[in-house]
Amino acid sequence: MQVISVVNRKGGVGKTTLTANLANEIANMGYKTLAVDLDSQADLSKIVRPYQVTKPKKPLPHYQPKYTLEDVVLNQIPLQDAVYKARENLYGLAGSENLTAVVNKKNKLALRKALGRKDAKDFQVVLIDHPPAMNRVAQMGFLATDSVLIVTDPDFFSSDNITQLVEDIKKIKSRPSGKRKKGKGLKIAGILLNRFDTRRNLNEIMREKMDDIFGGMMFPRAVHYNTAIPSSLYYKIMVRELIWYSPVNFQIREAAKELLNRNGLSCQGGVVAK
């Protein structure tokens, strides 16, 4: 199992939408994938939802699963009971508005313990959508994590924000694995530039600046700003499920492949490369 946290302390960068679509693409490559909604806004759960075969002509009603992450943390509901199937190979663990109130020092390892139990062993890739803050809920996610994907946009303040975020992440210990009883420093899988607008010169300037600062940490391909994103959110479906093709679909799939490669995983049928 590879657990990847998708993070940024700055809201509004499209992190949740990308998490959902990356999870869907990884599931389409054959990995049994779990998308965990750690944000109290629970927006990921509105996208990662049971699939409707017929393309919707209007927004789908809000999906409310029986259990949420709050039940796993507070009531120790087994993961196999709390997760729901959203697509082939794709499962979700819904968020809760009360997460911030229920996570404390005593139960901050609840997610790590849940992912370490036998009923979770079948999941090969876990993507955790983090809140835009470094609070106790985020700490719970980091304590269950192997590596971190930073999602950002080409905003003027983004590079300064990421520099500090990278330093903070390096101080956090990853989850123990195998014979290792204590976690090492969290691995940063990379930085993915989202909402890149080719019509704006400032976007290109900011990308070059980030490339200079972060070098190989930057994903080689950005995900562009495109109407496919808000359209898929409106209908509460994945980008690849829209009735028209968008280049963003290709960009997200390439980002998913890059994320797998950077975590030592193959893009061929859910086979671990290492």
Domains, the chain, ranges and CATH? 2-262 (3.40.50.300)
Q: Are 229 and 196 in contact (CB under 8 A)?
A: no
The pLDDT value recorded for residue 104 is: 87
pLDDT digits (tens, 9 = 90+) for 146-166: 999 999 998 877 777 888 888
CA angle 237, 241, 244 (to 5 degrees): 120
The pLDDT value recorded for residue 54 is: 58
Residue 177, pLDDT > 60, answer no
Confidence (pTM) = 0.90
Q: What is the DSSP letter of 189?
A: E
The pLDDT value recorded for residue 182 is: 55
* Mean pLDDT across 167-193: 72
d(CA 51, CA 194): 25
What backbone phi and psi angles, to 5 degrees, belong to 180?
-80, 110
Interior/surface letters 129-151, b for 16+ CB within 10 angstroms, e for the rest: bbbbebebbbebbbbbbbbbbbb
* Mean pLDDT across 182-204: 85
The pLDDT value recorded for residue 269 is: 58
Start-to-end Cα distance in the chain: 12
Contacts of residues 160-167 at CB distance under 8 Å and 24 or more positions apart, as own/partner, are 161/8, 161/9, 161/10, 162/8, 162/191, 162/210, 162/214, 163/213, 165/7, 165/8, 165/9, 166/214, 166/217
Confidence of residue 51 (pLDDT cuts 50, 70, 90): confident
